[in-house]
A = this chain, B = another copy of it.
């Protein structure tokens, strides 16, 4: 059985474990104040093309989202998100647990537009009894989205302009950022993202690390006291060095980009094989997640050879499923998968 059901089925890039082992007995201060974190911060600043951003390391995505959002919103404010956004669906109400409503916008492919944001804010402001409703306080997007889709530079520029116009900080969840940047259809760079968002995070967990997410705060007014919020949300790792070491390795010699490229290439080979068989897709993704729509017979066929995740029932006979590649997906497994697809009964 080959596992394609998520992008966290393996450990981490071997260089990370090597560096951990090599530095294991070096004594360092805790909580992210060590030299490895310092070095990783410098590399990330350089990769973002900005010396003035703050960089913080947290452990996981749900924690990072809850921390960033709690640091920005006031008590009466909510966060605008696509209705399929991770914070709206798959974080057990962590945002609400911190007191805030997720204000959802309908989305076909996981992205939202500047026009949608402006319309939402205009409607709120126009309402005579707006104080009876949650005030929009920021905007959350993910890149790639939950469905593997991407914002183009034009789209992100437009969305950010709308956010600025409405006075809403824009936060980009980059759990799979590496896979987005590595896509052949992507025209955004890390410096673009650092310029077109107020806060974002560079995902480590799904992109080669054991765990860890690097929050980049680009807007000056959002920097103050962020470490308090990290600690309050249980995100301040005692042995913060572990986060520093991982990102230091990943941002050495473009390793992060290189290994993510591998995942996307693998995913596109699978996509291609599925297309050749005429399989329809739930959404057109050019990143490491592919969402073919399978019949029950096809699902059964794959379930014996390649593990996937059930995504969404389409109708009584067909279901969208997810095949995920990762930095660790081997050429052998991709080849085996392609064979499986080719031999699939129609």
Residues of chain A whose beta carbon lies under 8 Å from any beta carbon of chain B: 2-3, 5-6, 8-12, 14, 17, 20-21, 23-31, 59-64, 66-67, 70-71, 74-76, 78, 89-94, 96-102, 128-129, 131-135, 205-206, 210-211, 225, 227-239, 241-242, 310, 328
Contact = CB atoms under 8 A, between A and B. Distances in A.
A99 B27 CA distance: 36
A228 B75 CA distance: 9
A57 B20 CA distance: 22
A138 to B, nearest CB: 13
B27 A17 contact: no
A308 B116 CA distance: 29
A156 to B, nearest CB: 26
Nearest to A100: B96
Contact residues of A: prevailing secondary structure: loop
Report copies per complex. 4
Contact of A234 (B17, B60, B239): B60
Contact of A21 (B17, B59, B228): B17
A97 B78 contact: no
A62 B93 contact: no
B228 A76 contact: yes
21 contacts: A5-B29, A6-B238, A9-B27, A9-B28, A9-B30, A10-B24, A11-B24, A11-B25, A17-B17, A17-B20, A59-B234, A62-B234, A63-B233, A67-B234, A74-B225, A91-B132, A91-B231, A92-B132, A92-B134, A93-B100, A211-B239
A336 to B, nearest CB: 13
A18 to B, nearest CB: 8
